[in-house]
Amino acid sequence: MDTWDERSHECFFQIPCKIFAFLAFIGQMTNHKRPFHNLSMHRFNKRHLFTLTEVMIATVVLGLAVAATAAIVSGAQSTVIKAENRWARQHLASNATEFYLMAGPYGQLPADILPEGFSASCQLLEVDDIHEDAMEAISGWIIGEYMIEVFDKDGNRMTKTHVRKILKEDDFE
């Protein structure tokens, strides 16, 4: 007795064979040597060539895609460079500000805080845009403002930072 798997295997191969035999029989009945010749076989034998217009349109579309991609990449690169420069300026300003907040406005900036050729300066300013009661010294302490500037190699100011801090009155003299 055949198992179900053997029968399904046998049926799987017998069906295409029976269909092929039937088609061959139909071909003989119609008295043709090639019974399927009229079923659009000519389009497989002839090569399809693109027209000049199709090639030009494809070239223009491809060129536009490349140009758009280049513009996007260029814009992204420009944005990254600007962000990097902003970060660098802010980093230098932070370094100088931290130094002057620790050392005071008259501290001498060490050479390794900023890159070679860069410089920073700090000025101590009196604060006058606060409430008049806050402008008075309390036990010898008063609000002051550090104005810290960082300069590049050419002497051009890169950043300017204002920081308010409670200082001794003697620091203003």
Give the pLDDT confidence score for residue 38 in this predicted structure.
Answer: 54
For the chain, the domains span: 75-172
Among 81, 151, 86, residue whose Cα is nearest residue 116: 151
Residue 56 binned pLDDT confidence (cut-offs 50, 70, 90)? very high
How much is the pLDDT for 36? Answer: 53
pLDDT digits (tens, 9 = 90+) for 4-44: 455 544 554 555 556 555 555 555 555 555 555 555 555 55
CA atoms 161, 163, 169, 171: torsion sign = negative
Question: Does residue 131 surpass a pLDDT of 60?
Answer: yes
Q: Contact 143/128 with Cβ under 8 angstroms?
A: no
pTM: 0.57
Query: In this structure, what token pair is assigned to residue 155?
Result: 């002497």
Q: What pLDDT, on a 0 to 100 scale, did the predictor assign at position 2?
A: 47
> 52-61 — which CB contacts under 8 Å span 24+ positions?
none
Query: Mean pLDDT score of the chain, rounded to an integer?
Result: 81
pLDDT at 90 over 50: yes
Residue 1 has pLDDT above 50, yes or no: no
